[in-house]
Structure 1
Amino acid sequence: MPPRLLPWTRDGKACYLSTDGGSDSVLSRLADDMEDVQLAMAGEVQEAAAKVLGDPMSPHVEVRYAALRLSECLREVRRVAESRGARIPVPDDEATDDGPSLPAEAFG
């Protein structure tokens, strides 16, 4: 199993997890929980930013803050997408069925 890209960085550098426990390890579950929090926060920030950006009378400082938070969330969501994409199993070339190669839970 290749190392997993974690949803946090250290000094701006990517952190990876290599474990024999797979997705059942404590750090894997912590990373899953952190990803869920980051995705939820991104949704909340997007909703708040939409209100600020939708108001033509929003002060410059509020627009700037909204843009900074959106940028931060986008960086985190991209890291989550990269990490999850790397963990999608590669289909077997010799597979004969045309069905999905992921478990139903992956479509969640």
Structure 2
Amino acid sequence: MTEPTPCAKPPGRITDLRLLPWPSPDGKPCYLSSGGAHGWVTRLADTVEERQLATGAEVLVLAREVLDDPMAPYTEVRYAAIRVAECLGDALRVAESRGLRVPAPDTGGDGADRTGGAGSPAPEPGR
């Protein structure tokens, strides 16, 4: 099994490329250039991501059951850890893919965040 490595941002316009939830045949990140369209590969990627996250939630429940048992055999604990690590890798790829598709915040040209999220200046008292 190859160790996951942070994926370098692909060349070109980030918003036009989507990191797919599966690697290329040689284990490298695989991207889809969809131009914003929702074709069948995009729908397949959405379905795979949903299934990966659901599987991760199921594995987490089962792993907690094993870890809650102080008498669980070493092999069961190891197997649970291997499955959790696989699911974590999938979840991190999904998070990275979705993060690459989030538009940059509107800074209005002065570097100030205009989205109202964290980092926005606090309103002055009485206003």
TM-score range, shorter chain: 0.7 to 0.9
Q: Does 1:90 align with 2:104?
A: yes
User: After the TM superposition, which residues 21-60 of structure 1 pair with which residues of structure 2 at under 5 Å, given as runs?
Assistant: 22-60=36-74
**What TM-score do you get using the length of structure 1 for normalisation?**
0.82
Shift of residue 25, structure 1, vs aligned partner: 1.4
Distance in 2 separating the partners of 1:23 and 1:54: 46
Where is the helix percentage greater, Structure 1 or Structure 2?
1
Residue number in structure 2 paired with 1:14 = 29
Q: Alpha-carbon deviations, 1:29-87, whole Å to 9, x = none?
A: 11011100000000000000000011011111100100000000000000000000110
CA distance 1:48–1:23, change in 2 (3 Å): farther
The answer as to whether partners of 1:6 and 1:15 remain within 8 angstroms in 2 is yes
Q: Cα RMSD (Å) of the superposition?
A: 1.9
Distance in 2 separating the partners of 1:27 and 1:75: 21
Distance in 1 separating the partners of 2:46 and 2:20: 9
Q: Number of residues paired by the alignment? A: 99
Distance in 2 separating the partners of 1:6 and 1:81: 11
SS in 2 for 1:4: strand
Distance in 1 separating the partners of 2:37 and 2:79: 36
SS in 1 for 2:23: strand
**What TM-score do you get using the length of structure 2 for normalisation?**
0.71
Residue number in structure 1 paired with 2:3 = none
Q: Which residues of structure 1 form unaligned runs of 5+?
A: 101-108
Q: Which residues of structure 2 form unaligned runs of 5+?
A: 1-14, 118-127
